[in-house]
Chains A and B, each alone.
Chain A
Amino acid sequence: TTRTPEFLGLGKSDSIYPESDSGSDVIIGVLDTGVWPESKSFDDTGLGPVPSGWKGACETGTNFSASNCNRKLIGARFFSKGYEATLGPIDTSRESKSPRDDDGHGTHTASTAAGSVVEGASLFGYAQGSARGMATRARIAAYKVCWVGGCFSSDILKAIDQAVEDNVNVLSMSLGGGMSDYYRDSVAVGAFAAMEKGIFVSCSAGNAGPSSFSLSNLAPWITTVGAGTLDRDFPAYVSLGNGKNFSGVSLYKGNTLPGTLLPFIYAANASNATNGNLCMMGTLIPEKVAGKIVICDRGVNARVQKGSVVKAAGGLGMVLANTAANGEELVADAHLLPATSVGQKSGDDIKKYLSSDPKPSVTILFEGTKVGVQPSPVVAAFSSRGPNSITPEILKPDIIAPGVNILAGWSGALGPTGLPIDDRRVPFNIISGTSMSCPHVSGLAALLKGAHPDWSPAAIRSALMTTAYTVYKNGRNILDIATGKPSTPFDHGAGHVDPIAAHDPGLVYDLTVDDYVNFLCALNYTDDQISGLTRKEGSCKAKKYSVTDFNYPSFAVNFQSTGGSTVAKYTRTLTNVGPAGTYKVSLKSETQMVKVSVVPETLTFSQRNEKKSYTVTFNAVGAMKPNSNSFGHIEWSDGKHTVGSPIAFSWS
């Protein structure tokens, strides 16, 4: 990726993550659409031999052989038996029955996690810079589980099964499948076994935001990653005939519009279809569109397809207007015709102009790439949101990372829009999603693993979470683009990832396999359900288990709205991974309806790996409306390190 290393504070010459061989022993397994091995992001120059513990393979298939792997891309496998059992044999004229990526998504995520440095990367000149993955010296193993017809659980489970056997250190999965209970969800089941082997598992939170309860990948042994923006934009202004200008974004490159204003029409008025405003295939009337710029509403069909529909009908350009579902979030696309995306408010104003002017006119002004955009990050509207629909006592997502307009490696099999008619081929593409934020965290976890080989997956996650930030440099809270208001822990979890701070967190909330089993016991899972995850017999003993004592780095506290005093006690244990020191607690809370106290208020650590426990008491002192929420923060600090945890209060 370009820009995200700088945005995250990586890539400085005096980096705390040196270009040493320790990080090059870390292997990231990426379950996705495969890999385009010819991408420069997988150049292995300067890398040493494949790590000695590696047991993986480079599988042969359509347009792919063992020679496609090297010391960067050390493994490539494909899993299609489940897919073919449901949808029939793979049509190799449409997709490669091999690890080769015909989609682009897998190449993008793999290169984001651990791509090598590529100078002069860009998409048509946009987002130009030195592209690199987060962990440039980590190795990549691609496990292709997603095909044209989807990703099937039997294939995903086998891929994780194989990745564990191959000895990956980090698993990156930018996919999800709804909200099944943990023991029914192949990603969660596979991730549990991976966690047992010390493998860090990061997954995308999903793109079902900004609705509440919209998260995927909720298991507490998974690090769940939401998406935020960068400080980068691709402005393309809408300039109306009445002299007004509106901000938009675009990645269009090609023939420019004439320097004069062009006739302008709303798609709904150029169609006989009831959904004509959406610019669906075959809905625009060419006679009404030809020679004009068309404004289309976002939704239902792909954004880039709307552009191709306008183009096919003879339109010269497109303005794509957000609706309430997307608000002011602007996602840039490499459209096939001059086009720009505008927010809902701008779209509404532009449509008012269209309806009020008998001869409306417009042009689009493309401004290229702009960096230093503030505020940034903001939580992406599409990023899925909490609360946790399976275990409300666990706050999810865990963290946010860059996931909007991310440039990374791309497949040579298709163009940047992914449309069949797009015959352009690009080495890098710019796309958005929690799919893009997940591999950022996977790569950062690989850096931490390289720097601290003895840290468990839970310790790595804790370091990432407790050092995440929730305020801008000016002290204001990170915003949610869906509302324009400050985001909450249900949107950003512990906050935005800060890999520099995560390198030296001071203290971590660690978890063992037994802790996770105790967590399942506390959820009253049956022996069979737990055995399905642990592969062992009868794990729960005749003792009292408590979800509130599960040593998670965040707090989700649930109260009944009936009122009266309700006391909830949560116990946590901190492990010292830094120098000796004394940490003092501080508390923040938005609400007076919950009294929070911590005992003890001071923790003194005299040596590394020493553990100290504390108890937080949450006392709800009054009635709140059902479905209301409030938020707070617990912070331990020794003056140098800050170990922060978000608190989410919910009343049901």
Chain B
Amino acid sequence: VEENPKSTYIIRMAKYQMPAVFEHHTRWYDSSLKSVSGSAEMLYTYNNVVHGYSTKLTAQEVEALKAQPGVLSVWPELKYELH
């Protein structure tokens, strides 16, 4: 059993709050993510339907990320089913 299991989350960012120092929003996302996790990598970045990305995080990393500026929400992965 992993001591700190990771789950997938979708992180939505307030792109309009992006500091001017970042040339591209993906750099900002990456910087925000790296500040709470040295190992986490983005699964996807979302450009059209939300501003944000998905990644795998531990529960502690989620709490740390929520406190980051520009983070609107951190929602856990949900499973959908065919109808």
Contact = CB atoms under 8 A, between A and B. Distances in A.
- Say whether A and B bind each other: yes
Interface of A: 32-33, 81-82, 85-86, 105, 146, 150-154, 156-158, 160-162, 164-165, 174-178, 180, 183-187, 189-190, 192-194, 197, 204-207, 216, 433-435, 438, 528-529, 531-532, 535-537
B49 A175 contact: no
Contact of B49 (A32, A105, A151, A189): A189
B80 A531 contact: no
Contact of A176 (B7, B48, B75, B83): B83
Nearest to A537: B16
A177 B14 CA distance: 25
A535 B80 contact: no
B82 A532 contact: no
A150 B72 CA distance: 27
B72 to A, nearest CB: 5
B82 A175 contact: yes
Interface residues of B, number: 27
Interface in B1-44: 7-8, 10, 12, 14-16, 43-44
A477 B49 CA distance: 41
A528 B73 contact: yes
A433 B81 CA distance: 12
| B interface majority secondary structure | strand
- State the majority secondary structure of interface residues on A: helix
A175 B81 contact: yes
Contacts of A161: 44, 46-50
A216 B83 contact: yes
Contact of B50 (A175, A216, A434, A535): A535
B73 A165 contact: no
Contacts of A160: 48-49
Given A81-B44, A85-B8, A158-B44, A194 B49 contact: yes
B82 A152 contact: no
Contacts of A193: 48-50
Given A161-B47, A193-B49, 4 more contacts: A157-B10, A183-B73, A185-B78, A193-B48
Give 7 nearest A-B pairs by CB, closest first: A177-B80, A193-B49, A204-B83, A154-B54, A435-B83, A151-B80, A153-B78
A82 B83 CA distance: 20
A176 B82 CA distance: 7
A189 B79 contact: no
Given A81-B44, A85-B56, A164-B49, A151 B14 contact: no
Contact of B8 (A152, A177, A183, A537): A152
